[in-house]
Amino acid sequence: MSKFTLAIHGGAGTILKSMLTPELEIRYKQGLQEALDAGYQLLQKGGNALDAVEAAVCALEDNPLFNAGKGAVYTHQGDHEMDACIMDGRTLDAGAVCGVKSIKNPIRLCKSVMLHSGHVMLSGEGALDFAIQRGIETAPDEYFHTPFRYEQWIEIRDSDAYQLDHRKSAEDSPIPEGKKFGTVGAVALDSFGNLAAATSTGGMTNKKYGRIGDSPVVGAGNYANNQTCAVSCTGHGEFFLRAVVAYDVSCLMEYRGYTLAQACEEVVKNKLVKMGRENGLIAVDTQKNYQLCFNSEGMYRGIQSSSGINHVAIYGDHD
Amino acid sequence: MSKFTLAIHGGAGTILKSMLTPELEIRYKQGLQEALDAGYQLLQKGGNALDAVEAAVCALEDNPLFNAGKGAVYTHQGDHEMDACIMDGRTLDAGAVCGVKSIKNPIRLCKSVMLHSGHVMLSGEGALDFAIQRGIETAPDEYFHTPFRYEQWIEIRDSDAYQLDHRKSAEDSPIPEGKKFGTVGAVALDSFGNLAAATSTGGMTNKKYGRIGDSPVVGAGNYANNQTCAVSCTGHGEFFLRAVVAYDVSCLMEYRGYTLAQACEEVVKNKLVKMGRENGLIAVDTQKNYQLCFNSEGMYRGIQSSSGINHVAIYGDHD
């Protein structure tokens, strides 16, 4: 019997039940379920892990509730610079883009970079040139405009602050941010035993200087290897870059013989806690084990598997 | 008695004695020795590893023979986009820039990013804005012009080719490139037992689409951690990104208990050879062990240590 699994996340952080209206909670859960379904349907039809993570992340990018694609936060300049990465655990091929504008679905561009550029990582206007040449869908600035992200930016744009921790609460904003790390991601095991990972983000509100986080970096925010696991991270990107988090999970499995659960636990609950940072990650291995692991109050997340699991959640525990 | 070590490289690849004139060989070795001396003098005076690797890499960036800073290759657009990274093994702090123009010494900018930006990685024009704000020295386009790099570019600029393997030989070019990966780097152990690594490059001749290689990526082309080692890589960046090479060396030591030599051997002579790629890396640990490891015909390299070693070399073996 074929086995397949898809896990997704939409960011981790201080996400408390008291911060979400019942209506908004429903919208988030619907968004997560739609993304899960988009990827899982492909796996059910015998599709591969790479296409499944791409489809799931595209759905999250298209949903304005999440900080990726439509719904990406504003930079200091008032536009949107997005980072993303996709990796094929079968071949260790990877494609990534950073600081890219005007791309409707950055994760699709990543796949094209992986398959057609001869490179792994493209940046800025050059990445956009490549996208146009490959016929990747672009979108005008207005497409990326969302009123609540705009408000978040207006509030701090004249300061030097950048916002990881969006302090707006449910009372004054439709999107409660608490202290939330806005990134989306998906990891999958397909029926052929192949793993893949995809991660996409708009980064930090009011970011400047062309700041790049961990999401587009192979081994930091995103990694997949059939020998070990597929991982997608969400958290304070600077710490994930320095700790090479996604590859660290893989190395603990490969070199120390840890299970997926042990490796995720060590990295998220021990190493990253010592760095004092709230964060989370999702991971799967070829044995259909999965982890939705976070040390913060909540993580937008979902899991669907051929063993019958189909669940989305936001806060701690299972709700 | 205090122990300290500094190792440097100026790129690896098909570098054969038959390709260099005696005069050019002397110039390369002088350049390597000057860079070694620049960093080693600081270590001798009780300076720290971070300042030593910065000084050594600055010297290599200032030398037009090497593909970093002055001497950086031309992009498809006819300018110079540079990538670099520095990391402090004591704190795991890191700073990196990618796709940055007009910066005389990208490695100095990396250190400023690490110390003053609150971020790890800055890109493109944003990184330049930060540099100007911090008073980092810029240089006009003419500064980066070198006749032989310009010729390399003119030869292929109208094609879609990008050049890792510069085929010019000693007969028609003052700089024989063979199949050479132009990157510079330094790793150091200081008398306090701290490690640091620095890496800088102009990337590939005729590169386009804002291509970014492994050099500016923590864990791929550059890594330092007092618990394990400091590593700087040179090779086909795409493979180093996918294989997370520098952090892999560290993980083999930390998780599998390999010595520095065993870890470097496994990565360079086994894993990367299986990927079919010529490459090299330099590494040191806190026990004053060092490795100048490559699977290609040559690597511009140097090592100087408080145990009395002071040696630069270009080809295989020790010459």
Return the domain boundaries, chain B.
5-315
SS3 of residue B90 by DSSP: coil
Percentage of chain B exceeding pLDDT 70: 92
For residue A239, what are the contacts with CB-CB under 8 A and spacing of at least 6? Answer: A245, A272, A275, A277, A279
Q: Give the number of residues written for chain A.
A: 319
Of B213, B219, B242, the CB nearest to A220: B219
Q: pTM for this one? A: 0.94
Q: How far is B99 from chain A (nearest CA, A)?
A: 8
**Each residue's pLDDT tens digit, B227-243:** 999 999 999 899 999 99
Mean pLDDT of A151-174: 61
Per-residue model confidence (pLDDT) at position A196? 98
Residue A167: pLDDT band by 50, 70, 90 thresholds?
very low
- Is B212's CB within 8 Å of A252's CB? no
Q: How far apart are CA A42 and CA A49, in angstroms?
A: 8
Distance CA B17, CA B179 (A): 13
CB contact under 8 A, A208 and B256: no
How far CA B47 is from CA of A166, A281, B50, B92, in Å, comes to 41, 39, 9, 18
Determine the pLDDT at residue B14: 79
**By mean pLDDT, which of A117-121, A171-175, A306-310 is the weakest?**
A171-175
ipTM over 0.90: yes
List of chain A residues whose C-beta atoms are within 8 Å of the C-beta of residue B276: none
Q: What is the pLDDT of residue B168?
A: 39
Q: Hey, which of A18-22, B89-93, B143-147 has the most confident mean pLDDT? A: B89-93
d(CA A97, CA B211): 9
Pick from B159, B160, B186, B209: which is nearest to B66 by CA? B186
When mean pLDDT is compared across A263-277, B30-44, B289-303, the lowest value belongs to: A263-277
As a residue count, chain B comes to: 319
For A156, A239, B83, B244, the CA distances from B232, given in Å and listed in that order, are: 39, 20, 13, 12
Active-site position among A75, A146, A183, A205: A183
> Does residue B164 have a pLDDT over 90?
no
B85 shares contact with chain A (CB less than 8 Å): no
8 A C-beta contact, residue B214 and residue B233 = yes
User: Count of alpha carbons within 13 Å of A238, Cβ hemisphere only?
Assistant: 22
- Average of per-residue pLDDT across A143-166: 77
Using the beta-carbon criterion (under 8 Å), do B126 and A210 form an inter-chain contact?
Answer: yes
Flag whether residue B93 sits within 8 Å of chain A, measured between CB atoms: yes
Say yes or no to pLDDT of A172 above 50: no
Range 143-162 of A in CB contact (< 8 A) with B: 162
Note the pLDDT tens digit of each residue in A32-43: 999 999 999 999
At position B183, the amino acid (one-letter code) is T
Q: Is A5-315 a CATH 3.60.20.30 domain?
A: yes
Q: Pick the closest to residue A82 from A210, A189, A197 (CA basis).
A: A210
* Nearest-CB residue to B125 (from A129, A210, A252): A210
Q: How far apart are CA A57 and CA A49, in angstroms?
A: 12
CB contact A86 to B (< 8 Å): no
Give me the mean pLDDT over the A210-236 stretch: 96
| Tokens standing for residue B235 | 């090779």
Please measure the distance between the N-terminal and C-terminal CA atoms of chain B and give it in whole angstroms.
Answer: 30
pLDDT at A278: 80
